Amino acid sequence: MYLNCKTFFSLRYGTMHAEMLVEKAYELGIRTLALTNINMTSDAWEFVELCNKYLIKPILGLECRNENNFKYILLARNQQGWYAINHFLSEHLQQEIPFPDQAPFIPHTFVIYAWGSRAPEMLAAHELIGIKPWERNKLFRTNTSSIRDKLVILQPVTFQDEEYFELHRLLRAVDQNILISQLTPDMTGHPAEQFVHPSKMVEHFSDYPHIVQNTVEIMEACQVEMDITPHIPRNKKHFTGSVEGDRAKLRELALEGMYYRYGDDHEEALSRIEKELAIVAQMDFEAYFLITWDIIRYAQEQGFFYVGRGSGANSIIAYCTKITDVDPIELDLYFERFLNPSRSSPPDFDIDFSWRDRDQIIRYVFDTYGKDYTALLGTVTTFQTNAIIRELGKVYGLPKKEIDKILENGFHVQLEADNIHQKIAHYCDLMDRKPAFPNHLSIHAGGILISDAPIHHYCTTYLPPKGFVTAQLDMWQAERIGLYKFDILSQRGLGHIRDAIDIIKENKHVDIDIHNVKAFQIDTRVKNNLATVNTIGCFYIESPAMRQLLLKLRCDNYLALVAASSIIRPGVAQSGMMKEYVQRYRNPDKVEYLHPVIEELLKETFGIMVYQEDVIKVAHRFAGLELADADTLRRAMGGKYRDSNDFKEIEKKFFANCKERGHSDQVAAEVWRQIASFANFSFSKAHSASFAVESYQSLYLKTYFPAEFMVAVINNFGGFYNRELYFRELLKTGVTMHPPCINNSDYSTNIKGQDVYVGLIHVEGLEQLLAERILADRLAYGSFAHLEDFTNRISPGPEQLEILIRIGCFNFTGYTKKELLWKSSMLVKSKETNNTHSLPLFGNTAVHCELPTLAYHAHEDAFDEIDLLGFPLQSPFSVLQHNQSTYMPAREFGKYVGLPVTTLGYLVTTKFLRSNKGEPMCFGTFLDKEGAFVDTVHFPDSLRQYPFQKGGFYVLQGKVAKEHDVITLEINKMWKIGYFEDKKA
């Protein structure tokens, strides 16, 4: 009878999560339940799992709607029917086809129409008519016995009660983007779409027992056959076609790679490979390795740069097959951190590609493994508190200013007196509970599913604007089924490296083996740049916080950088571990170790468990736990499993083993305490090592090819900082910087020898189509001779031509911008803007006309650049009309530690945070006149009195502070000045 139940995955319609739906059914004694969400199947298997838990028979189906128009309900009779429903829905979602009024034949399903939409005698054998309890009067003049096998009871379940019916109405108004008062009945469900006790339902239809009987028979005919036994993997099972073939292939690749990585005779490497192959075989994980290797192989063939990172770098097989570039022997990494028999779910490799290459990699995966078996992983975007308040405010008709005031002050705006505010607060609270209300589906950052059976056996797919078929599943729902993702991620840092290699080859004719990381690590010039934090543009080591940490650590080697990549994380810094680590790093002789074994294990990190692998190492070698148990302990300490029986057993074993090994109770307790303290904040060493490898690759390119590297950074739209800083860094390399030029610029910035031409993409207001037309015309017909030639060939509009002139695109003509603008007004006055290419019959002839004498100021170019690029190409300090002679440069600060100084800074970036008391404070980064960084600290009182006012120049007054070689300026006063100001603002 309950053949039309919805959860809140009927987006902006239903109000119950799956567990609440099933719990309420169980409480009412309901033993069969159908989930039929609107055009969505996202939580189907969570529903099945919950029904099994509560001993309720699950039925899976779908409610098909075209916007607000109900069409029919589909119920799966078995697994084939469920596949058919998913396939049917997927086709309509992907092609954006509305559902037809009459459902096509879908095998192994029932179709239920609304009363009155279809004549019962015209229905096919599998088609039915649903009668809702409040529609019984429509049966009064109908001979129902003649169509008894076509009628079923249809009690929709959409919300919990009257309170949630109002929330349902609010969600419908949000969905329609209208006021709640504008809702019409067809936009919402019926107020009675709630659970009714089965006995009452039977009572409602006491005059029609044959309808009740037919409904029961239909429910009995539906059977979900999906096995949801936990942790049954449903990914593609074989790469070569068989288990034996996969095992032989993986062994062959691992040994071949071992010779490449370690040489012909390396006993430790061979031993580790054999051990890993045994565990991989035990867990039937060969196909996952081989598919990842295949993706990497394709990337290498295409010349794509990539980085394999995450816990997969703990695997020597991954290292030997070039999935990662981290040597697990060198770093003493445990494979069990990645894969062990005690893991409840398989891990995944994180493979980063350049954002330019990632789509081609994804396309290869779809083409190779089949569109019927492959889908991007979805994710669920939920309603966040502020968004809920804003949406509900709009629905109730509040003006934007009043909604903003609520967001700023919570609900302290006449809460008791304002009924609307009370309602918003109440329904916001209902939606803000766990699990969070889904708002819409999106795409996971990098997950791809490759299933062994066609993907529609498990879920529906749709086609978002990204252009790749995407599952209506998030990661948690996919794992519940047994589908584990491959992570194909994109990262701009890799774009820097990839493009830099290409630019260097073109400009310097040098080929670089970017994977020769061990050579980079011992290179003296690279080490010097790392030690002096000349790292702007380099992945993960360019931010102010990281540059300061590297200085504190005097970092000039790989292992120190690996550690820095871990302890820079927020949780570590907030716990005080980062400060303690720096102190111990700089004073290793003062470190006291708990036990000789601890000293042996943690000497590299001065007794601190910096890495998750350290937790495993200590648990294994100090307390004698098996490596699999040690990894379980590591994961449990993160909080997820602390209350489990397994965790309690491991805790008992830890102390029992310590006693057997002769460790004192006091030492054992302290080691356990440190594990508990550090495990929550520690980071995967393999992950940190992967970051450090990429940092070295970036830093090598910056060290030996700084100009080409910075052009690559700019063309990938920067990194931590805004693009202006990267142009400033590029100027430091000694290049000649030219503004955009119609004859020399490309769409992106280019470098030719030592000449850099700013790309047209950076010109604010320049239309992309016009820029592309200019470049195509130049390629086809050669350079532009002068302004007249350009206007004849391109026919730009007057506004676009003015932009090109003002930014300097015609500087090569020898005319000033004002002269060019004067000429342009005559050239475009009578010329229509069109896309037609035209060449004069007798060649290009410049128009000679009498030009007036026009005044020109030296800084006009700079101000045009500020207007059209966002910054001047020359140093902003050279444009500033302000006496700069009295300000102290940053290089002098070290002489004045503890003393007040005044300097002039050009704002680069800010980082706002809260003090220990919860008050706003800020860290600032500025440039001084010499291009050196000025790092500032703005404590709450200072920030309150002297807040930031966007970008530009600031006079900075404060006390010089020094901590472990890092010099900062603690601001007690600052004010902003403009380009033409010569006094305080």
Per-residue pLDDT tens digits for 250-259: 999 999 999 9
Rounded to whole angstroms, the Cα distance separating 475 from 462 reads 16
Q: For residue 317, give the H/E element and its range.
A: helix 316-320
* Alpha helices for 343-384 (secondary structure H): 358-369
Residue 980 pLDDT more than 90? Answer: no
The 3-class SS string of 669-687 reads HHHHHHHHHHHCCCECHHH
Determine the pLDDT at residue 848: 59
Please give the C-alpha separations between residue 461 and each of 37, 352, 473, in angstroms, as whole numbers.
Answer: 15, 25, 9
Q: Positive or negative, the Cα torsion across 628, 630, 633, 634? A: negative
pLDDT at 929 over 90: yes
- Mean pLDDT for 866-886 is 94
More confident residue, 571 or 864: 864
- Which of 262, 319, 313, 257 lies closest to 689 in space, CA to CA? 313
Tell me the average pLDDT of the chain: 90
Residue 442 pLDDT: 92
Stretch 571-593: mean pLDDT, rounded? 85
569, pLDDT greater than 70? yes
Burial class (CB within 10 angstroms; exposed 0-12, middle 13-18, buried 19+) of 891: exposed
Helix (H), strand (E) at residue 961: strand 953-963
> Tokens at residue 204, please?
């409602």
High-pLDDT (> 70) share of the chain, %? 93
pLDDT greater than 80 at residue 417: no
What mean pLDDT do residues 555-573 have?
85
Nearest to 151 by CA among 130, 137, 134, 135: 130
Segment 366-391 shows an average pLDDT of 93
Q: Is the pLDDT of residue 412 over 60?
A: no
At residue 854, the pLDDT reads: 61
More confident residue, 141 or 447: 447
What separation in angstroms does the CA of 215 have from each of 149, 201, 208, 210? 9, 12, 11, 9
pLDDT at 163: 93
What is the mean pLDDT of the segment spanning 775-800?
95
Lowest mean pLDDT among 602-611, 723-732, 882-891: 602-611
Kindly state the tokens that stand for 447.
């997950």
Helices (H), 321-413: 358-369, 385-395, 400-409
Per-residue pLDDT for 838 more than 80? no
- Given a contact cutoff of 8 angstroms between Cβ atoms, the answer to whether 921 and 943 are in contact is yes
Place of tokens 């063309």: 715
pLDDT of residue 934: 97
pLDDT tens-digit series, residues 913-923 = 888 888 999 99
pTM: 0.83
Statement: residue 612 has pLDDT above 70 = yes
Partners of 308 in the β-ladder = 351
Distance of CA 660 to the CA centre of its chain: 47
CB atoms within 10 A of CB 230: 10
Can you say whether the dihedral through the CA atoms of 609, 612, 613, 616 is positive or negative?
A: positive
Count Cα neighbours of 830 within 13 Å in the Cβ-side half-sphere: 1
**Confidence category of residue 805, pLDDT binned at 50, 70, 90:** very high
Asked if residues 944 and 960 have their Cβ atoms less than 8 Å apart, the reply is no
pLDDT bucket at 140, cuts 50 / 70 / 90: confident
Give the tokens for residue 360: 């081609």
Range of lowest pLDDT (226-235, 508-517, 822-831, 849-858): 849-858
Give pLDDT, residue 926. 98
Task: For residue range 33-44, list pLDDT tens digits in order.
Answer: 999 999 999 999
Token pair in block for residue 615: 């937790």
Both tokens assigned to 766:
């320049």
Identity (one letter) of the amino acid at 677?
S
pLDDT the model gives residue 835 = 44
In order, the DSSP letters of 212-262 are HHHHHHHHHH--------TT---B---SSSSHHHHHHHHHHHHHHHHHHHH
Whether residue 842 is predicted with pLDDT greater than 50 in this model: the reply is no
Least confident interval from 436-440, 608-612, 900-904: 608-612
pLDDT > 90 in the chain, percent: 69
Kind of pairing, strands 32-35 and 57-66? parallel
Task: Let me know: does 286 contact 245? Beta carbons within 8 Å.
Answer: no
Q: How far apart are the C-alpha atoms of 71 and 478, rounded to whole Å?
A: 29
Burial of 589 (0-12, 13-18, 19+ CB in 10 A): exposed
The pair of three-digit structure tokens given for residue 570, joined into one six-digit string: 């927020």
Predicted local confidence at residue 413, as pLDDT: 43
How many whole angstroms from its chain centre is CA 517?
27
Across residues 300-311, what is the average pLDDT?
A: 87
Lowest mean pLDDT segment, chosen from 40-44, 628-632, 952-956: 628-632
Average pLDDT over residues 272-288: 93
